[in-house]
Amino acid sequence: MINVTKTFLPPIDEYQNLVQRAWKKEWLTNRGELVLELEHKLKEYLNVSNIIIMNNGTIPIQIALNILGEKGEIITTPFSYVATTSSIVWEHCTPVFVDINEDYLTIDETKIEAAITSKTTCILATHVFGNPCNIEAIQEIAMKHNLKVIYDAAHSFGVTYKGKSIFDYGDVSTCSFHATKLFHTAEGGAIFCNDIELNHKLFYSHNFGHNGPLDFHGVGINGKISELQAAMGLAVFPYMSKIINERKEVVENYQLNLDFLKLKEFQIRPETQWNYSYYPVVFEDETTLLKVQKSLNESEIFPRRYFYPSLNTIPYANGNSMPISERIASRVLCLPLYAGLSKEDTHKIISIINQSIC
């Protein structure tokens, strides 16, 4: 069976050796030495000023919205994972959707200003499949209207844009370290912020508001990651080059051999060093997509309709029509992509797709 992705598992003895350190310390949570070591390694690898690793990838978005959203209107994309929208609603803010760019699949920056009202507090945009938004245009709009910018960069581990980490952009960026992601801690995530004062708020907010054992800066929740999760991250970390290179080979195979006369590949924004996190293709229509999906499933190959449906159509979001996002969401399919996917299996996937769209 070939799934859309497969968790990279380091040698179990390497993971166990790291866990043994936590056993010896008898310290399993509350930012032990493994968490601190992982933060240090990631900070250097990603070339960022600040990082707070957390227990999943959604909590960082919720904390950022809790601090910056002020229960206002949040301009956001309808083409993302549901956590982007559900976090807005969960934090008692209102999602205001803006349609997407048909080529890059990210929020269409040319439509943002028309959605701004006196209640708008933030722009929450997603770097879709690791593909950067139009960062400069969004920042210009935010500064003009005194808005904060939060980037859902769940897919963007290791991505650079114009020579800088993608996490260096916006007021806050977040990432997911879920087991299906490029880099993972089984379950986890991170938040990035260059503003010292705001970073301090983010930090104490993920630890119940603590300022030391007995004092409190303010309200907070439990977003801490455990030593066991950090151990997984430390075990995965040495294999990042292998993971990225093997995924790159799969992507290049797709790009070289799929029939793009009847398929569309999304465009990577110029000056981006991409991370090969996902490989979406867009079909001519939903009927063709369903036909291809059925053919692949019959061969025990399971791509994913990612992202589907368009988030503006979810009942609790109360969104307006977003024609481009809805059209893309109905026709996009993410193909299997992970380290260890063989050339033989990749060619099998390609062959089935090409035959199905003839």
pLDDT digits (tens, 9 = 90+) for 40-70: 999 999 999 999 999 999 999 999 999 999 9
- The CA distance from 237 to 233, in Å, is 6
Residue with tokens 């110029």: 270
Task: Among 204, 238, 272, give the residue marking a domain's end.
Answer: 238
Residue 88 sits in a domain whose CATH number is: 3.40.640.10
Residue 216 pLDDT exceeds 90:
no
8 Å CB contact between 78 and 95: no
Residue 202 pLDDT exceeds 80:
yes
What confidence score (pLDDT) does residue 217 get? 86
Task: Among 238, 259, 275, give the residue marking a domain's end.
Answer: 238
* Residue 342, burial from CB neighbour count under 10 angstroms (0-12, 13-18, 19+): exposed
Domain of 247 in residue numbering reads as 239-356
The three-state secondary structure class of 122 is: strand
DSSP classification of residue 170: S
How high does pLDDT run on average in the chain?
Answer: 97
155 lies in the same domain as 138: yes
226 lies in the same domain as 245: no
58 lies in the same domain as 198: yes
Flag whether the pTM goes above 0.95. Answer: yes
207 lies in the same domain as 334: no
- The CA distance from 113 to 238, in Å, is 43
Determine the average pLDDT of the residues in 76-104: 98
The tens digit of pLDDT for each residue in 132-148 reads 999 999 999 999 999 99
226 lies in the same domain as 340: no
Q: Is the peptide bond before 323 cis (omega within 30 degrees of 0)?
A: no
347 lies in the same domain as 309: yes
CA-to-CA dists, residue 285 to 264, 300, 354, angstroms: 11, 23, 15
Predicted confidence band at 282 (pLDDT cuts at 50, 70, 90)? very high
Please state the domain count of the chain: 2
Q: Is the peptide bond before 129 cis (omega within 30 degrees of 0)?
A: no
222 lies in the same domain as 137: yes
182 lies in the same domain as 54: yes
258 lies in the same domain as 208: no
Determine the average pLDDT of the residues in 179-193: 98
* DSSP-H helix ranges across the chain: 12-25, 33-46, 59-68, 82-90, 135-145, 196-205, 227-236, 240-257, 286-298, 323-329, 343-356
8 Å CB contact between 22 and 227: yes
Predicted confidence band at 213 (pLDDT cuts at 50, 70, 90)? confident
220 lies in the same domain as 194: yes
249 lies in the same domain as 208: no
- The CA distance from 252 to 207, in Å, is 43
Residue 292 sits in a domain whose CATH number is: 3.90.1150.10
Residue 212 pLDDT exceeds 80:
no
Backbone CA torsion sign across 44, 49, 53, 57: negative
Radius of gyration for the alpha carbons in the chain, expressed in angstroms and rounded: 21
128 lies in the same domain as 225: yes
Task: Among 183, 206, 238, give the residue marking a domain's end.
Answer: 238
